[in-house]
Chain A
Amino acid sequence: MSSETGTGKAGVIVAPEGADNMDKLAHSVLDDLLYNIVHDLLIKVHRDEKMARASTAAIKVEKLATDASETPDSKPDVRVETEAAIYEDGKVLLKGNPLKTTKEILCSRCHLPRLLHPTDGKGAKKPDPGVIYCKKHPYIEKPGYDIYGQTWVAPGPGRGKKKKDMVDKKLDPNDANSPAAADGGSAKDRPPNVLSFPSATCSKCKRCILVTRLNNHMGSCIGNSGRNASRAAAQKISNGGSNGGSQNNDNTPPGSQKGTPLPASRGASPRKRDVDEFDEDAEESDPSNPKKKKAKPNAPTKKVILKTKLPAKKEKVKANSMLNVETKVDDEDIKNSTVQVAPKKSAPAKGPSPSKKLKLGVNAKPPLPAAAPKKTKRDRDMESESSGTLSSPPQ
């Protein structure tokens, strides 16, 4: 068949002239296989694209139909026609090829237009600022940045991860804020998409620990083993009381915490914790922050958990980051819909609430606007002290 011509259907792999029949056959087989690969890829892309366009046409015409009818019926009894589709008797019928009639793609869930190009990196295009796009954006492909265009503080001294970094700080006792400053105090100077390490609460001692130290901490705190156990014990004995006061995520000035007498070998660690506490403040959702502060004087030695789920959703003005993931709330709180102060961090004991997770959305948190105009002066102070975990709005 095609071996006579020395190539297959794609016509890309062509046998040289004067090749023998076997050679021609091999070339044409390879060429056919290449054709098949392209064919399969094309079918897949075609399917995704055409179905998305068809569904866009359907969404548009359904929207028109709902607008046209007076009753808020799911299947309005009207006839609407667009360039791409007809709505009739509750049915959507296509007109022509959606690849030709429909140019944009609407998200099938939120019905907002999809952004079709990444905003940065490879293949980036500036999005139309006048359009509200679906939040599902194309992923960014840019060296040094993640799929959302976020980046991180480069490793090195001051990052606080490596032991040697901590030693460096210890040599500079004047700079009480040094870890904080390095970790996130400079949040203002950084572009908003730079992330730093957040903190989390240890489920046993309720202390707030920088995430990079969490495993180490839990090993000694819960695991009660390992080579740090004795040091941890010694540390608890020597400064357990004074540190206890700072265990809640209050805003004791880092300098004063630093003043706590410490065994020399652990000098770096409590200072580290200072950072942690500030980190957590930044980690918690902003609406909670003022309330949290109010709550603190009342319960100074207890861990404060703020539960803002539903209210936060209503106030669209949520600031930089969400509620600390570790301070996960009970489901009942969703219904209570007010900020609660839990006296103690409870274990994730959840009631079998039926309302939960039926559509993975109950816990859904509201969008994170880039800046929170409602922020108070106090918040700003906090912000600059904190290590601004997520896209701290530039002030």
Chain B
Amino acid sequence: MSARPATPASPKNVKIKAPQPGQPLYGCEHLQRLFNQDQLTTNTSIQHYKSILRSIFDTTPLIPQTSKSMESQVVTSLTPTYLCLQCPSTLSEEDRTKHGNKKSHRFYVDSRSGSLYCQMCDDIVWDPTIEELRLRKIGTGTFTTNRKRKADDLFTPDPNKDTPQFIATNTTLASCKANGLRGIYNAGATCYQNVVLQSFLHNPVLRNFYLSDGHHCEMPHCLSCAMDDMFQDFYGVENTNGYTAANILSGFWISEKKAFENLVTTKEQDAHEFFQFLAEELHERNGDGKKPEIGSEHSCNCIIHQTFYGKLQSTTTCQHCGGVTNQVQSFLDLSLPLENLAQKKGKKSGGKIPAMALQECLDEEYIKSDKCEYRCHSCNSMQQARRQTTIKRLPNVLSIQLKRFEFKQGRNERAAKIDTPVHFPLQLNMLPYTNRAKAPDGKENYELARSCTYDLLSVVVHVGEIDTGHYVSYCRVGDQWFAFNDHKVELAQKSDVLGARAYLLFYIVRSLS
């Protein structure tokens, strides 16, 4: 910390997190003693903790993983090391006790998680003040709350309505049983709707929006109102039986938008189409009123755009004159064709198509460039060009469709389903597919990589043939996965989820949660 002598020590005194009901003020008695010594000790401890977190999360892991033993031997280990909170030493687990006895330093930070170990408790302690800093570092990468998150604009507090008294007198607390985990009855071949609704219900961004009274309107048969009702019923009511999504269904039938002209009565439909329909419909109910056009750039601050929409940039480079044209368009989801890649892989392995990985499909679309014919303005003629598409802006919730269908050449030219397994990760790094992938290394890169890290949120699976079958889905609530099959809700293991033949994938950006 003495590396910056020019800047005087921050005059602001570090404050311990204010006491909260139902929470102890300190992580343990010893930490309480440390924080009660004097303001200076508190300041230096907190500041040192912050700098340790920075070195853990913002630099190459080599630094926090390298410890110096008592015999001045430098060791880099894969397993966690302990960074002393009271001096700049990094210690191995074995040396930690020796160091503590010698220097009377009692607090160490675990190099893998940033959590605090108290030597006197001989246990990890979870102090509210320390833990808040740690979670913020992991989440947004900054210690202050000043930085606005993408979704914050939606939740501007109303000074009148946010007083505790107002909330207390006008609300009743939802039962502990109401946790949003309910099935949805199949209203007759509506499993394609149920899976999408479940993925919306367990989407934290949408949930917060609807549960914080985000939608108001007077429209009859409004789909967004129906969503609102559904969220209330899932999170405010103690029911454990299935939900009957009648309002959604009628709103869907009544909807003026005939994106679903072909969607009649008992026919089974495509969940992806329903997702698009629902997103566009909800955008129209909450957004700027403009129609989301495919192929153009559309910025809107409605809940749907804040949640799902990102931007793609296609760069076309003329092979003749080298001129570059950029085109930006908004996307609701990324559609990844499996057909070509499956064929390519099939040829290599001779017939049988081996399993693919989601990242391979993304590589194919957003890293590799393709050739195309293009009318160059500077050459003023048709030219060969290279076209590359990258992601310009990542959404908060990334939805990916794996196009599991192909059109077989030949007799009937009918579509067939590609049943090839596609492996997808629980944690997805989207940085390579953005237009900032080639950004310089360093501290910024760690922050950038963090802002591009996504966690799997829900998976929609289609079982059966191309024209008939059933949809089921998996959604994550906290760390627990649940399997939804219409009105049935069951616990699911991560292996069930990862082994599923996904059709739609929803990933949520980590820095949001």
Contacts and interface: CB of A to CB of B under 8 A. Distances in A.
A135 B238 contact: yes
Interface in A143-161: 146-148, 150, 152
Interface residues of A, number: 104
B78 A226 contact: no
Contact of A195 (B80, B211, B241, B265): B241
A358 B266 CA distance: 38
Nearest to B189: A215
11 contacts: A32-B79, A47-B126, A203-B254, A214-B188, A325-B243, A349-B218, A349-B220, A354-B170, A359-B171, A362-B171, A364-B175
Contact of A33 (B78, B167, B185, B210): B78
Given A218-B253, A348-B225, A92 B25 contact: yes
Among B80, B167, B240, find the residue whose CB has the most chain A CB atoms closer than 10 A: B240
Interface string A184-216: 000000000001011111111000000111111
Contacts of A8: 78-79
Interface in B152-207: 161, 166-167, 170-179, 181, 183, 185-190
A10 to B, nearest CB: 8
Contacts of A199: 244
Nearest to A99: B123
Among B124, B186, B232, B254, find the residue whose CB has the most chain A CB atoms closer than 10 A: B232
B249 A147 contact: no
B490 A352 contact: no
Nearest to A328: B229
Contacts of B177: 135-137, 367
A47 B217 CA distance: 42
B211 A357 contact: yes
A376 B229 CA distance: 31
B137 to A, nearest CB: 15
Contact of A92 (B23, B216, B217): B23
Interface string B241-281: 11110110110011000000000111000000000000000
B488 interface: yes
Interface of B: 19, 21-29, 32, 75, 77-80, 110, 112-113, 115, 121, 123-126, 161, 166-167, 170-179, 181, 183, 185-190, 210-213, 216-222, 225-226, 228-229, 232-233, 235-244, 246-247, 249-250, 253-254, 264-266, 479-480, 482, 487-491
Given A222-B254, A358-B167, 12 more contacts: A55-B23, A94-B32, A97-B123, A136-B179, A152-B487, A204-B250, A211-B244, A213-B187, A214-B246, A223-B253, A364-B174, A367-B238
Contacts of B179: 136
A354 B487 CA distance: 32
A213 to B, nearest CB: 6
A326 B186 contact: no
Given A90-B19, A390-B241, A96 B171 contact: no
Contacts of B80: 36, 39
B25 A91 contact: yes
Given A33-B78, A364-B174, A58 B187 contact: no
B79 A36 contact: yes
A108 B24 CA distance: 12
Contacts of A137: 177
A250 B57 CA distance: 65
Contacts of B173: 109, 359, 361, 364
Contacts of B265: 215-216, 219-220, 223, 225-228
A275 interface: no
B181 A147 contact: yes
B187 A54 contact: no
A44 B115 CA distance: 10
Interface of A: 1, 8-9, 29, 32-33, 35-36, 39-40, 43-44, 46-47, 50-51, 54-55, 57-59, 62, 74, 85, 90-99, 107-110, 112, 134-137, 139-141, 146-148, 150, 152, 195, 197-204, 211-216, 218-220, 222-223, 225-228, 313, 321-322, 324-326, 328, 347-350, 352, 354-368, 389-390
A364 to B, nearest CB: 5
A354 B25 contact: no
Contacts of B123: 50, 97, 99
B117 to A, nearest CB: 10
A104 to B, nearest CB: 15
A62 B19 CA distance: 12
B188 A326 contact: no
B101 to A, nearest CB: 21
Contacts of B176: 107, 109-110, 112, 134-136
Nearest to B264: A226
A97 B121 contact: yes
B171 A92 contact: no
A197 B222 CA distance: 25
A195 B242 contact: yes
Contacts of B249: 214-215, 218
Given A215-B187, A358-B161, A363-B233, A147 B24 contact: no
Given A195-B487, A218-B253, A223 B78 contact: no
Contacts of A218: 187, 249-250, 253
A98 B170 CA distance: 35
Nearest to A201: B246
Contacts of A62: 21-22
Contacts of B479: 44
A33 B78 CA distance: 7
Nearest to A60: B22
A328 B124 CA distance: 49
Contacts of B29: 93-96
A209 to B, nearest CB: 8
A92 B170 contact: no
Contacts of A93: 24-26, 29, 32
B250 A203 contact: yes
Contacts of A108: 22
Contacts of B217: 350
Contact of B22 (A55, A96, A112): A55
B192 to A, nearest CB: 10
Contacts of B172: 313, 359, 361-362, 364
Contacts of B232: 357, 360, 363
